[in-house]
């Protein structure tokens, strides 16, 4: 079975569909929980699946350093290693290398950098990134790119984008013919329409199974990000999935889908769960606040996740303040469940041609704020 994308419905620019892979279907719009080091922190794989996730994201940079791509390959590949038999997307390592600006050297060939773990020296090139992702066995592979942090000069953004396009061509050559596996290109170009269009044209000329919008959610702010998405998705093929990398907050996700995005990932729901920040239909709840310590009510009376079904705000406040492991488990589960409920709600609304009404209700409910303290 080969990789494929099927658009089932469209409402405005918002699309609902399905990505077909040998390891299962991915309903779109899709949110991918992040399993950086072959685990979604504080979650069992079957629990992640129970939230409604069809696909996870693994991190090339972290896995190449520890435990090593060759070791994972010897142990049967990433799916077996982490006990997740459904699709996995791996990023290219480019974003993490960008964040190590003080520890890296960038050339036309690739990037040499020092490990943040032990200071050992490594080289990451388009060819090596493709090799690592092949050893991991991921279903969706990202081409190797360079992502400049914003704000940056137009000259710097243009040079970076054109380097990424040269690396995209090398990634495609190194990826080869792998039936059942997909390679996505990554559009760059900052917040400049002409550069975004140039990048998209270069990627389409190379030819990819899907296309990501990269270089956003890196400091430019929501208004600028939406401004780019208003035109950037239109540069990409209609018959391929569109992936917005590293996004984001609930209203970021809804705004991205409204503008034609099919896939997203972010560490936010899991990271926030570990720090006591809880996302609900009525906005953000900080479970660490003292107002919850005598509250017998659930986080969200309409939520069916284990945290809301079986535990009170008072208990969740207690275990967080006591630094008990169950706090991270329950709050992460809730956040991931809520993010998947957003995706499910949007898929249904798009299919029924009522996305605009759904969006109004989504924002109105969040604007109500949390329930009043007792």
Residues with catalytic roles? 91, 265
Chain mean position to CA 113: 24
Contact 37, 66 (CB under 8 A): yes
| Cα separation, 204 vs 242, whole angstroms | 13
Helix (H) or strand (E) holding 18: strand 14-21
Q: Dihedral through CA 197, CA 201, CA 207, CA 212, nearest 10?
A: -10
Cross-sheet strand order for the sheet of 4-11: 4-11, 14-21, 24-28
Tokens of 145: 């790119």
- The dihedrals phi and psi of 358, each to the nearest 5 degrees, come to -60, -40
d(CA 252, CA 258): 10
- Is 136:63 a contact under the CB 8 Å cutoff? yes
Instruction: Say how far apart CA 97 and CA 65 lie, in whole Å.
Output: 12
């Amino acid at each position: 079975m080969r990789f494929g994308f099927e658009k089932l419905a469209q409402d405005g620019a918002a699309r609902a569909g399905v990505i077909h892979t040998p390891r299962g279907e991915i309903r779109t719009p899709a949110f991918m929980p992040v399993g950086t080091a072959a685990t979604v922190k504080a979650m069992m794989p079957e629990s992640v699946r129970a939230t409604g996730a069809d696909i996870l994201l693994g991190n090339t940079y972290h896995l190449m350093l520890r435990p090593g791509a060759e070791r994972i390959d010897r142990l049967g590949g990433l799916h077996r290693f982490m006990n997740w038999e459904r699709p996995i997307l791996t990023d290219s390592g480019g974003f993490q290398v960008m964040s190590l600006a003080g520890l890296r050297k960038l050339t036309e060939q690739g990037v040499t950098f020092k490990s943040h773990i032990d200071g050992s020296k490594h080289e990451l090139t388009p060819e090596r990134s493709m090799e690592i992702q092949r050893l991991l066995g991921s279903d969706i592979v990202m081409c190797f790119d360079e992502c400049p942090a914003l704000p940056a000069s137009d000259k710097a953004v243009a040079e970076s984008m054109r380097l990424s396009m040269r690396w995209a061509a090398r990634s495609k050559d190194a990826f080869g013919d792998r039936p059942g596996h997909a390679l996505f290109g990554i559009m760059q170009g900052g917040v400049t329409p002409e550069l975004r269009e140039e990048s998209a044209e270069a990627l389409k000329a190379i030819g990819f199974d899907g296309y990501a919008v990269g270089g956003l959610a890196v400091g430019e702010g929501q208004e600028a990000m939406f401004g780019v998405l208003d035109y950037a998705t239109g540069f990409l093929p209609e018959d391929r999935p569109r992936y917005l990398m590293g996004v984001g907050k609930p209203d970021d996700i809804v705004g991205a889908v409204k503008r034609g995005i099919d896939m997203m990932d972010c560490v936010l729901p899991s990271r926030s769960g570990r720090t006591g920040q809880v996302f609900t239909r009525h906005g953000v709840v900080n479970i660490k606040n003292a107002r919850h310590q005598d509250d017998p009510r659930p986080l969200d009376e309409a939520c069916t996740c284990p945290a809301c079904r079986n535990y009170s705000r008072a208990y969740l406040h207690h275990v967080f303040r006591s630094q008990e492991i169950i706090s991270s488990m329950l709050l992460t589960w809730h956040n991931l469940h809520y993010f998947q409920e957003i995706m499910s709600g949007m898929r249904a609304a798009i299919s029924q041609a009522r996305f605009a009404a759904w969006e109004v209700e989504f924002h109105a409910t969040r604007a109500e704020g949390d329930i009043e303290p007792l």
